[in-house]
């Protein structure tokens, strides 16, 4: 009896000991190469998902992600439009430093120089399998642009990605085809593709000449070649067997992303999963049509939520949930009318795509870059909320740290090492952040925001967005005035001077990373 008792006691102690040492291990030891998935949404605003305050649209899968991670409330893309944000995220450098990083036409040459060390390079160096699936919009091919009928090079394969399945530019730009590993997906060589961004080529109808053929009408621009009943930016002909069908685009991309995860389940992987949603033309799968009550823009948000759910289910079914860091964020802020008459304006009701923030896509006001920003790692990081200033430009230095890689001086010049912050273990914020609107720059430092004077419309005639252009300097105290409603520059001339000087130095130094 006594022996039995002490044996039981011994067993109990042993079990307790092993439990507590396991717990210590999961909290303290460096992760053994977790997978990383960046889910990058297009044009999703700060207020567009329910865990950031939306009430007219419900996003349970995204909310779930937030409840297993950190929900950042002051997380920024680096720019208020697509191409420069993606450039910054992948290279760790501000796009305003490099000419030619503005919104790229659909036949642009590749913007990221293959010599540049990128986020994908880092993961590849650390032995990860790397993939990019979805919207690219960083240009493809050499100086003369992409060869749509051959092997497209340079491309993602030259900047660290083992696998790519791309929407080459945007859903509203020709050619309306996917590429897989450098070749147009499903192309019949007997029907080659021709693309022209200056003048009409071929005999396919255009939105301008044949509006009666359209199922989605433009509100501005977007009146060139018609593909699948939608007139696009740019002219194309050929490649019929390869044309995408907008309504099934989310599904097509999702399948490729899930396939990449499945294929690489036994090795660490990095996946940059970049949705077309909720960019225009908004044409979600029939299963979401009419479901949000806000028209195609709201329905596309539901499709995003579905896409997130698919990734999480796949990770779960492969037993990878606790081995995978999932980041959910957006390339720039929201826009309601971005060039098609899709009832987004009429059906918006009291939904606020930018939440409490001013401006939107393209703008230098906060909604331009302050976006949903969630970092989830179930079982490994505590869930919570963080209001510290972070940016997607920090992924480079932060993941270099996680992967135990050194950055050289010329790598990732504006990326701060924020690994602890991204994993919710530190509250030290970025010293400052340069917000790149399409017309001008702003500098955020602590509670202060300074906007460089700029010539341009106060409100865009196309998108109705408050752009932040003003011939006078603007200064806001974000703690007291998050909505940037009261310009206090004239009351604080010293502060304006100080921030002007700091921005000048940031530009002149050519870098902000010093760690
Ligand atoms: C603009 C387009 C807009 C969108 C944007 C790029 C017009 C009138 N507007 O020029 O529809 O395509 O470029 O969006 O053509 S982004 O999210 O890829 O930066
Ligand atoms: Ca975008």
Express each pLDDT in 53-64 by its tens digit.
999 999 999 999
Give this prediction's pTM: 0.94
Distance separating alpha carbons of residues 224 and 253, to the nearest angstrom: 25
Residue nearest to atom 16 of ligand 1 (CA): 82
Who's near 484: CB < 8 A, 6+ residues apart?
A: 358, 359, 365, 366, 449, 474, 476, 478
d(CA 343, CA 327): 30
Q: In this model, does residue 12 exceed pLDDT 70?
A: no
Which two three-digit tokens encode residue 166? 């791309």
Q: Tens digits of per-residue pLDDT, 237-258?
A: 999 999 999 999 999 999 999 9
Tell which atom from ligand 1 comes closest to the C-alpha of 172: 12
Q: Is residue 90 within 8 Å of 120, Cβ to Cβ?
A: yes
Give the tens place of pLDDT for each residue, 294-326.
Answer: 999 999 999 999 999 999 999 999 999 999 999
Q: According to the model, what pLDDT value does residue 514 have?
A: 85
- Other CB atoms within a 10 A radius of the CB of residue 408 amount to 7
Minimum-distance ligand 1 atom for the alpha carbon of 169:
18
Atom 10 in ligand 1: residue holding the nearest Cα: 103
Name the residue among 379, 364, 340, 390 with its Cα closest to residue 473. 364
Cα 417 to ligand 2 centroid, rounded to whole Å: 25
Measured CA to CA, the distance from residue 470 to residue 240 in angstroms comes to 47
pLDDT at 292: 98
Q: How far is the CA of 190 from the centre of ligand 2 (A)?
A: 34
Closest by alpha carbon to 239, among 293, 192, 300?
192
- State the average pLDDT over residues 345-350: 98
User: What pLDDT is attached to residue 478?
Assistant: 98
> Residue 122's Cα: distance from chain center in Å?
19
The helix or strand, by DSSP H or E, that contains position 71, with its residue range, turns out to be strand 69-72
Tell the burial category of 509 from Cβ atoms under 10 Å away from its Cβ (0-12, 13-18, 19+).
Answer: exposed
Structural class in CATH, domain 433-509: alpha beta
**Phi then psi for 171, rounded to 5 degrees?**
-70, -20
Q: What is the mean pLDDT of the chain?
A: 94
Q: Which atom number of ligand 1 is nearest to the Cα of residue 43?
A: 17
> Mutation test of ligand 1: which of 339, 341, 353, 369 has the most ligand atoms closer than 8 Å to its C-beta?
339
pLDDT for the residue 13: 44
Task: Kindly report, as residue ranges, where domains of CATH 3.40.720.10 are found in the chain.
Answer: 32-192+241-422
Task: Examine the pLDDT at 31 and tell me if it is beyond 60.
Answer: no
Q: Which protein residue's CA is at the shortest distance from atom 13 of ligand 1?
A: 103
Tell me the percentage of the chain whose pLDDT exceeds 70.
94
Pocket of ligand 1 (CB under 6 A): 42-43, 81-82, 103, 137, 170, 172, 220-222, 233, 279-280, 332, 338-339, 462
Query: Which part of the chain has CATH 3.30.1120.10?
Result: 433-509
pLDDT greater than 90 at residue 36: yes
Is the pLDDT confidence value at 96 over 70? yes
What are the structure tokens assigned to 406, written together? 């050194």
What kind and span of H or E run contains 402?
A: helix 395-402
In ligand 1, the atom with minimum distance to the C-alpha of 332 is 17
Q: Which residues of 379-402 are buried (b: 16+ CB within 10 A; e: fewer)?
A: ebbeeeebebbbbbbbbbbbbbbb
Contact between 294 and 351 under an 8 Å Cβ cutoff? The reply is yes
pLDDT above 50 for 7: no
Q: Which of 279, 368, 371 to mutate to test the pocket of ligand 1 (most atoms within 8 A of CB)?
A: 279
CB atoms within 10 A of CB 351: 22
pLDDT in tens, 115-157: 999 999 999 999 999 999 999 999 999 999 999 999 999 999 9
How far does the centroid of ligand 2 lie from the alpha carbon of residue 232, in Å? 16
- Pick 29 or 210 by higher pLDDT: 210
CATH number of 32-192+241-422: 3.40.720.10
Tell me, in angstroms, the distance from the centre of ligand 1 to residue 484's CA.
Answer: 25
Q: Which atom of ligand 1 has the smallest separation from the CA of 221?
A: 8
């Amino acid at each position: 009896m006594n022996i039995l008792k002490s044996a039981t006691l011994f067993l109990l102690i042993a079990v307790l000991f092993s439990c507590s040492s396991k717990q210590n291990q999961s909290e303290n030891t460096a992760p053994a190469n977790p997978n990383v998935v960046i889910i990058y949404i297009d044009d999703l605003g700060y207020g567009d998902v329910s865990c950031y305050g939306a009430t007219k649209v419900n996003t349970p899968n995204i909310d779930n992600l937030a409840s297993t991670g950190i929900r950042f409330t002051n997380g920024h893309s680096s720019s208020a439009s697509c191409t420069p944000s993606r450039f910054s995220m992948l290279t760790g450098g501000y796009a305003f430093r490099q000419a030619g990083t503005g919104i790229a036409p659909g036949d642009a040459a590749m913007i990221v120089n293959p010599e540049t060390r990128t986020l994908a390079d880092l993961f590849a160096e650390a032995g990860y399998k790397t993939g990019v699936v979805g919207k690219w919009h960083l240009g493809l091919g050499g100086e003369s642009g992409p060869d749509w009928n051959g092997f497209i090079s340079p491309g993602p394969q030259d900047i660290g990605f083992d696998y790519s399945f791309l929407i080459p530019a945007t859903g509203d730009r020709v050619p309306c085809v996917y590429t897989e590993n450098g070749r147009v997906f499903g192309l019949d060589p007997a029907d080659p593709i021709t693309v022209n961004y200056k003048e009409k080529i071929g005999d396919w109808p255009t939105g301008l000449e044949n509006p009666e053929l359209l199922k989605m009408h433009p509100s501005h621009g977007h009146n060139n070649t018609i593909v699948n009943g939608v007139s696009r930016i740019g002219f194309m002909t050929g490649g019929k067997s390869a044309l995408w069908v907008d309504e099934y685009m989310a599904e097509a991309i999702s399948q490729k992303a899930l396939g990449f995860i499945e294929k690489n389940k036994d090795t660490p992987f990095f996946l940059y999963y970049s949705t077309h949603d909720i960019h225009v033309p908004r044409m979600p799968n029939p299963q979401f049509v009419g479901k949000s009550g806000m028209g195609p823009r709201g329905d596309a948000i539901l499709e995003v939520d579905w896409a997130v759910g698919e990734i999480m289910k796949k990770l779960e079914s492969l037993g990878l949930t606790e081995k995978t860091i999932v980041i959910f964020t957006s390339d720039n802020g929201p826009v309601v009318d971005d060039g098609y008459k899709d009832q987004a304006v009429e059906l918006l009701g009291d939904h606020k795509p930018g939440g409490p923030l001013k401006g939107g896509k393209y703008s230098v006001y906060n909604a331009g870059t302050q976006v949903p920003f969630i970092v989830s790692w179930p079982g490994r990081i505590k869930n919570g909320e963080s209001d510290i200033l972070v940016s997607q430009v920090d992924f480079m230095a932060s993941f270099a740290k996680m992967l135990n890689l050194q950055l050289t001086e010329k790598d990732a010049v504006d990326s701060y090492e924020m690994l602890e912050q991204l994993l919710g273990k530190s509250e030290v914020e970025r010293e400052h952040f340069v917000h790149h609107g399409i017309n001008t720059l702003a500098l955020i430092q602590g509670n202060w925001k300074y906007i460089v004077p700029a010539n341009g419309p106060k409100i865009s005639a196309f998108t109705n967005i408050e752009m932040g252009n003003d011939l006078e300097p603007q200064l806001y105290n974000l703690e007291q005035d998050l909505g940037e409603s009261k310009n206090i520059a004239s009351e604080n001339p010293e502060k304006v001077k100080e921030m002007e000087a700091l921005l000048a130095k940031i530009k002149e130094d050519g870098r902000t990373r010093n760690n």
